[in-house]
Amino acid sequence: MVQSMSVGIFIIPQTILEFKNSVLMKRIGATNIKPVFFVFSVMIVGMIFIVLSFLWTLLWAGILFGSTFGWKEIAAPNNFVAAIPFVILVFISTIALGLMLASIFKSITSFIAGSNVIFMPIAFLSGSFIPSELINSSDVLKYVTYINPFKYTMDWFLKAWSGQNFVFTPTYGIYLEISLALIGTYVSVAGWKLRWQA
C-alpha cells in the first residue's frame, strides 16, 4: 500500500505544481477551458496509477513469495468484499493529501523536501522498513503509529484483507470518523488554497 500512497503524495502534487508554474496555465486561462478540468484529469490518471501500483505490488509479492508461503497467503484477499471500501478510502485519502500538498507548496524544490519529510515517517510506520508486527509489538511504536494519517484506513484494510476475524467494532467507527475528517481537512485546505482553479 505504501507504493500506492507514494503516487498520491509525490506524483499527483508534482504534476499539479508543474502545471501551475508553467506558461500553459496562463494560456489556458485565456480560453474558456477551466483549469479545474486539468486538475480532475490529473486526479483520475493518478487514481489509475494508484490502482495499477497496488495490483503490481500484489503481483510481485506473489511472484517472489508465493512459492514459499503460497499465493493465497501473500496476494489473495481473504475477505475481498470487506476490503474494497477500505482500500478506496486509502486511495481517496492519498489523492486528497496530494492535492493539499500541491496547494501548500509553491515550488517543486520545497514540495519535494516537504513531501519527503511527510512520507518517510508514514512509510516507516506503515511497515515499509520493518515488519508491521514488530511495530505493533513495540511498547512505544504502537502508540506512535497513531500519528500516521493512513493508520485509520489501513488497519481495517489489512484486517479484512488477511481475514483476521474482521468485525466492525466501535473502534473502527472512530477510525472511520477520523479518516473522513482527515479527508475533509485535506480537501478543504486544497480547495481554499487552490483558488486559482476557479
Residue 198 binned pLDDT confidence (cut-offs 50, 70, 90): very low
Max CA pair span of the chain: 59
b/e for 5-25, b at 16 or more Cβ within 10 A?
Answer: bbbbbbbbbbbbbebbeeeee
Boundaries of every domain in the chain:
2-197
pTM, to two decimals: 0.80
Bigger pLDDT: 29 vs 84: 84
Q: pLDDT digits over 1-10, tens only?
A: 677 788 888 8
Q: pLDDT digits over 44-96, tens only?
A: 888 888 888 888 888 888 888 877 877 777 777 777 777 888 888 888 898 89
For residue 6, what pLDDT is reported?
Answer: 82
Is 156:189 a contact under the CB 8 Å cutoff? Answer: no
